[in-house]
Amino acid sequence: MTNTVPKILIVGGGYAGFYTAWKLEKLLRKGEAEVTIVDPLPYMTYQPFLPEVAAGSIEARHSVVALRRHLKKTTVVAAKVTGINHAGKSATISPIVGDPYEFEYDQIVVTAGAVSRTFPIPGIADNAIGLKTIEEAVAIRDRLMSNFDKASVLPAGPERDRLLTVVVVGGGFAGIEVFAELRSLASSLVKSYPQITFDDTHFHLVEAMGRIMPEVSLKTSEWVLKNLAQRGASVHLDTQLTGAVDGNVELSTGETIPTDLIIWTAGVMANPTVVRGGDLPVEERGRIRTRADLRVGTAEEFVEGAWAAGDVSAVPDLSGGGVGGYCVPNAQHAVRQAKLLAKNITAVLRGEQPREYFHKNLGAVAGLGVGVGVFQSGKIALKGPIAWLAHRGYHGLAMPSWERKIRVVWGWVNNFFLGRDMVNLETVQSPRYVFEEFAARPRAAAPASPAIDPKSVAGEKAPVAGEKAAVGS
Ligand X SMILES: Cc1cc2nc3c(=O)[nH]c(=O)nc-3n(C[C@H](O)[C@H](O)[C@H](O)COP(=O)(O)OP(=O)(O)OC[C@H]3O[C@@H](n4cnc5c(N)ncnc54)[C@H](O)[C@@H]3O)c2cc1C
Q: Which residues bind ligand X (CB under 6 A)?
A: 11-17, 38-41, 47-48, 50-51, 80-81, 111-113, 131-132, 173-174, 271, 273-274, 310-312, 329-332, 334
CB of 123 to ligand X, least distance (A): 22
Give CA–CA dist 46/137, Å, rounded.
12
* Angle CA 257–263–268, to nearest 5: 130
Taking the least distance from each CB to ligand X, the nearer of 132 and 343 is 132
CB of 246 to ligand X, least distance (A): 28
* Closest alpha carbon to 289 in 343, 319, 325, 320: 325
Taking the least distance from each CB to ligand X, the nearer of 163 and 309 is 309
- By the 8 A CB rule, do 71 and 105 touch? no
Taking the least distance from each CB to ligand X, the nearer of 91 and 163 is 91
Give CA–CA dist 45/3, Å, rounded.
33
Taking the least distance from each CB to ligand X, the nearer of 160 and 316 is 316
DSSP for 19-31, please give it.
HHHHHHHHHSPTT
Torsion of CA 258, 260, 261, 267, to 10 degrees: 60
CB of 318 to ligand X, least distance (A): 18
**278 strand-pairing partners:** 84
Taking the least distance from each CB to ligand X, the nearer of 190 and 263 is 263
CB of 464 to ligand X, least distance (A): 55
**Chain position whose Cβ is nearest to ligand X:** 14
Give CA–CA dist 265/116, Å, rounded.
7
Give CA–CA dist 72/32, Å, rounded.
16
Give CA–CA dist 43/20, Å, rounded.
14
Taking the least distance from each CB to ligand X, the nearer of 81 and 185 is 81
Give CA–CA dist 15/332, Å, rounded.
10
* Closest alpha carbon to 106 in 312, 304, 346, 350: 304
CB of 200 to ligand X, least distance (A): 27
* Closest alpha carbon to 225 in 181, 176, 166, 266: 176
Neighbours of 207 (CB within 10 A): 24
Residue 120 is classified by DSSP as -
CB of 260 to ligand X, least distance (A): 21
CB of 454 to ligand X, least distance (A): 54
Distance of CA 382 to the CA centre of its chain: 27
Name the amino acid, one letter, at 121. I
Give CA–CA dist 46/132, Å, rounded.
10
**381 strand-pairing partners:** 376
Give CA–CA dist 472/313, Å, rounded.
52
Taking the least distance from each CB to ligand X, the nearer of 112 and 163 is 112
CB of 84 to ligand X, least distance (A): 10
CB of 215 to ligand X, least distance (A): 9
Taking the least distance from each CB to ligand X, the nearer of 241 and 312 is 312
CB of 91 to ligand X, least distance (A): 9
Give CA–CA dist 400/417, Å, rounded.
25
Give CA–CA dist 21/68, Å, rounded.
11
> Left, alpha or beta for 427 (phi > 0: left; psi -120 to 50: alpha)?
alpha
Taking the least distance from each CB to ligand X, the nearer of 77 and 151 is 77
H or E, element range at 149: helix 134-152
CB of 310 to ligand X, least distance (A): 2
Taking the least distance from each CB to ligand X, the nearer of 77 and 244 is 77
CB of 173 to ligand X, least distance (A): 6
